[in-house]
Structures are given as structure tokens and as C-alpha cells.
């Protein structure tokens, strides 16, 4: 049997590592927290929490794919949810409020994109937007959260076919997003805008339009996350839940998405969210203090980024070696042929 080379191993880890990690964690946790962890009701809770995390992670991922890390995600989520809640508590139909939240997310994402494409660093722009949205949200509510959102129960707390509605919403987001990224020409251009915008420009495609689309999609999905989170908690809080940014970013990093843009798999982001929520769940089952989960999330984030860097460097090194070896072999063959002709 042929022994796998280093390049094949590294590519395998990059492609399947997150799935192997999840399977190992579930196996370990099933023994460590038996019998409570490997229980249907407990897994339902894990998937419900992971679905909420995954929507925010998808918002971050869409920005990263197109080459920009959007740090305003929790602020856009809060302001969108507050606008929806304010309208609902003032007699407006629930669906009109939800549409208003989506429009808010798209508009704020568009503003982020337009300003960033003017040459200002996207990190500075989105941090500024985070502050602006949190201030405006607090201004609308005059400080406290808006309660009384029981009308949102069907999209936050209900179950359909025994599965939480939050999972179905997250599944819809990820299916549509994956089809767009992998099955459409626009999706290919979108990814190229983050990975190789110059090549896209040489092909006659406006890379900036797809970068702008990345901000818009990030804003839209942030609003979706804000609406679903408010439906789940039955309130709209003007204070951005910055923890969603770090858990979402960690899920993105665990999935192997390059923060430089242009490469990654959206379904793996959901698996990354499952990894995070599985760890947090087992810590609760073992009655371990909540701040430990925050520390673990930080370790996962740094570890995932370090592993991605190491694997990418390893793959690049192996590719260079393979090409060098191939060139040496070709040169040797040509020299041999030349020597035979001279003889």
C-alpha cells in the first residue's frame, strides 16, 4: 500500500479536520458526561444554540469571503432587532417589522461597504459602525430592552417536526448561501473578489461590486441573526451582544476559512458552531463555571488560526518541493536524451 505523502495528509486535515474534531469531541463528551450528553433533548439544545451562533458566523463569513472582516455584526443585529421591536410594540404587523429589520441590515452593510471602498480600513469602519448602531439602538429604546415580543414565538421558540425552528432558519441560510457560492457564476466572482481581485479585474469583472455585496450580505445576515435572537429571547436589547462576534468568529476560524478571503466552506462554519456549543454544553452539564467556556472559546480561536497558518505554510512548502522535484526530473530526462543523441 502506498504511504500517503505529507501534502495529501495536510490537504486531508484542511478538508476534514473540523468533522474529525467534532466526532472526537462527541465521543469524549458522551463518556465524560454520560448519560446526559448523548441524549436527544440535550442534542436538541446544542443544535438550537449552534443555529443561533451559526447565523452570526455566516454573517462574518460572507464578509471574510469577499475580503473584509466585519466587526459591526452585533451592532447591526441589535439595531435591526430594536427597530423591528419598536414597530411591533407600536401596532405594526410583525412581518412588516421583520422586513424593516432586514432593510436596516442591508442599508447598514451598504454604508459599511461604500465607506470602506473609499479607501478607509474596513476594521476601522465596522468598529465605528458598531458604536454608532449601539448608540442609535439605545436612543430608540431610551436605554432598556424592549419586551413583549411573544408574537415572534413561531420563529424563535417553536418546534417543527420535532426540530427547533432556529435550526430550520439556519439551515435555510446555509443552503441558500452554499448554492450561491458553489453553483453560480456570481458566487465564483464573489469568492475571487476576496482571494484574487486583480485577476477578476483583468477578466473584466468589477471586483468592488462583489466586495460591496460582501458587506451587504453580512449586514443582511446580521439582521437575520438579530431577529432570530430576539424571537428566541422574546426581547430586543439595544446593547450589542459582543460575545456573538467572538463565538461567530471562532466558528469561522475553526471551519478553516482564510481570514485573507477567497477560500472556505460555508457548511463547515455550521460544524464549527456545533463544536463551540458542544463544549459550552458539556461544561454546563459538568457544572463548570461559565467563564471557563469564554476561555476555551479564546483558546479555540487562537489555536484554529495558528493551525490554519501552519497547514497553509506546510501545503505551500510541499507544493514548491513537488514542483522542484518535477522540474529536476524533467531536466534529468532531457539531459539523458541529449547525451544519447550526442553518443
Q: Give the tens place of pLDDT for each residue, 190-211.
A: 988 888 888 888 888 899 999 9
pLDDT of the residue at 332:
52
Does domain 44-258+266-307 sit in CATH 2.60.40.10? no
Q: What torsion, rounded to 10 degrees, do the Cα atoms 113, 114, 119, 125 define?
A: -50
pLDDT per residue over 101-159, tens digit each? Answer: 999 999 999 999 999 999 899 999 999 999 999 999 999 998 889 998 999 999 999 99
Read off the pTM. 0.87
Does the pLDDT of residue 341 top 60, yes or no?
no
Burial code (b: 16+ CB inside 10 Å, e: under 16) for 168-199 equals bbbeebbeebbeebeeeeebebbbbbbbebee
Average pLDDT value over all residues in the chain:
87
Residue-wise pLDDT for 228-282, tens only, equals 999 999 999 999 888 888 899 889 988 888 777 767 889 999 999 999 999 889 9
Residue 246 contacts residue 253 (beta carbons within 8 Å): no
Task: Give me 188's grid cell.
Answer: 465564483
Query: What are the structural domain ranges in the chain?
Result: 44-258+266-307
Residue 116 is placed in which grid cell? Answer: 470602506
Contact (CB, 8 A) for 272 and 252: yes
Amino acid at each position: 500500500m502506498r504511504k500517503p505523502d505529507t501534502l495529501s495528509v495536510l490537504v486531508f486535515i484542511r478538508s476534514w479536520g473540523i468533522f474529525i474534531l467534532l466526532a472526537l469531541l462527541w465521543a469524549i463528551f458522551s463518556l465524560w458526561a454520560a448519560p446526559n450528553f448523548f441524549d436527544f433533548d440535550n442534542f436538541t439544545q446544542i443544535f438550537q444554540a449552534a443555529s443561533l451562533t451559526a447565523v452570526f458566523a455566516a454573517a462574518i463569513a460572507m464578509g471574510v469571503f469577499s475580503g473584509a472582516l466585519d466587526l459591526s455584526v452585533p451592532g447591526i443585529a441589535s439595531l435591526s432587532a430594536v427597530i423591528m421591536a419598536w414597530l411591533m410594540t407600536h401596532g405594526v404587523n410583525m412581518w412588516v417589522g421583520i422586513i424593516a429589520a432586514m432593510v436596516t441590515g442591508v442599508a447598514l452593510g451598504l454604508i459599511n461597504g461604500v465607506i470602506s471602498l473609499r479607501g478607509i480600513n474596513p476594521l476601522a469602519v465596522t468598529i465605528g459602525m458598531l458604536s454608532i448602531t449601539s448608540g442609535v439602538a439605545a436612543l430608540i429604546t431610551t436605554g432598556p430592552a424592549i419586551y413583549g415580543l411573544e408574537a415572534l414565538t413561531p420563529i424563535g421558540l417553536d418546534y417543527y417536526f420535532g426540530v427547533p425552528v432556529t435550526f430550520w432558519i439556519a439551515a435555510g441560510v446555509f443552503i441558500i448561501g452554499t448554492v450561491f457560492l458553489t453553483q453560480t457564476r456570481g458566487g465564483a466572482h464573489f469568492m475571487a473578489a476576496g482571494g484574487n481581485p486583480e485577476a477578476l479585474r483583468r477578466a473584466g469583472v468589477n471586483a468592488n461590486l462583489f466586495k460591496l455585496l460582501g458587506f451587504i450580505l453580512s449586514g443582511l445576515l446580521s439582521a437575520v441573526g438579530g431577529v432570530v435572537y430576539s424571537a428566541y429571547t422574546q426581547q430586543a436589547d439595544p446593547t450589542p451582544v459582543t460575545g456573538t462576534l467572538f463565538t461567530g468568529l471562532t466558528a469561522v476560524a475553526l471551519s478553516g476559512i482564510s481570514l485573507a478571503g477567497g477560500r472556505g466552506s460555508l457548511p463547515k462554519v455550521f460544524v464549527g458552531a456545533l463544536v463551540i456549543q458542544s463544549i459550552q454544553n458539556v461544561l454546563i452539564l459538568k457544572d463548570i463555571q461559565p467563564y471557563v467556556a469564554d476561555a476555551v472559546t479564546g483558546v479555540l480561536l487562537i489555536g484554529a488560526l495558528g493551525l490554519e497558518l501552519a497547514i497553509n505554510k506546510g501545503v505551500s512548502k510541499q507544493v514548491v518541493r513537488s514542483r522542484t522535484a518535477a522540474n529536476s526530473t524533467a531536466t534529468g530526462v532531457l539531459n539523458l536524451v541529449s547525451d544519447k543523441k550526442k553518443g
